[in-house]
Structure 1
Amino acid sequence: MMGRFLNVVFGGERNVIRETVEVFRENADAGGARNAQVQGQAMGQYGEEFRAARSGGFDRFMDGLNRLPRPAMALGTLGLFISAMVSPLWFAQRMQGIALVPEPLWWLLGVIVSFYFGARHQMKSQEYHRGIVSAVQQVPRAVQNIEMIGGLRAESAGVADTGTDARLDAVAIKPDDNPALVAWKAAH
């Protein structure tokens, strides 16, 4: 009787309990597999966008246009400082015109600049964090290399010790030919 019950519940490559629970709660393994597939497809589509050859004139123009705002704002600000020094009256007239700009327009400009530079800041911040993770992963190897290099210093105890190798001992004390020393001795 127990065998029949277990066969009904778990038999025939089925699990009635699991199937019943999955009606109310998603199977985490299957959900993770679906999410991984969806993310893989999205990343593949995103990658395809950047693999396409962008040799057209419009694409080059848009790439150049996207690179203009930051340098234009920086150079424009420097230009304002220079114009204030070169022609204070001209500068004062322009600043009076800017004083007439309504506050909602300043808010709109602030939002546009914040979004533009905020997105760039987020991208650079993520690159920075990836760089830190990569550097931290290199630390154990760097520490090992530093210790190995430190052991090679001439003042380190036993660095030139030949140990019990008699052949190496003989080679270490055998004088070698030094052409510069021979030439110096001949000159003096």
Structure 2
Amino acid sequence: MGVIEFLFGSGRNVVAETAEVSRSNAEGDAARDAALRMAAMSQFGAEFALPKKSLFDRVIDGLNRVPRPAMALGTLGLFTAAMIDPVWFGARMTGIALVPEPLWWLLGAVVSFYFGARHQAKGQDLQRQMAATLAGAPQIMAQLRAIEGLRGPEGAAPADAAAETAPETTPEPAPETAANAALADWRQARG
């Protein structure tokens, strides 16, 4: 009775406390894993969250999306009008033919600058995103090299720890010479 009182009495479980020295508590592991997953999901959510925009910004973004669909649908509407009422369509096209050439140049410049500026802004955003992605490439490559270094021959640990951190270099190709017997033997050995 005294042994049981010693092991399980006074709100303690000596057996469980002793076992936790060599084996972690499964319930504690589950709680830590859940906290880790929640922190990772919060980080991902923050990374992909869109910045909060004002009502003005949303209205302007909506207006910026109108011209291209309006031009495409307007062109389809002109084809439809030409088929439904050719006389009406002919009268409108005669009116367009009377527009002076400088006005056509002005319209072309306005449309070109609008779409050119939009194309440039989108291109710059893409370049910014690519630059941010490429800036992280050295860290990713270092991690991949470290992971590959763990593999070793047939899953064994690598014998040379310095090989894990050494940067990969590719040898510079030697200049072509006809009289280089060693190079010819090497090429022949490689097949």
Q: Give yes or no for TM over 0.5.
A: no
Give the alignment's TM-score, normalised by structure 2. Answer: 0.40
Instruction: Give the TM-score taking structure 1 as reference length.
Output: 0.40
| Greater relative CO, 1 or 2 (CA 8 Å, sep 6+) | 2
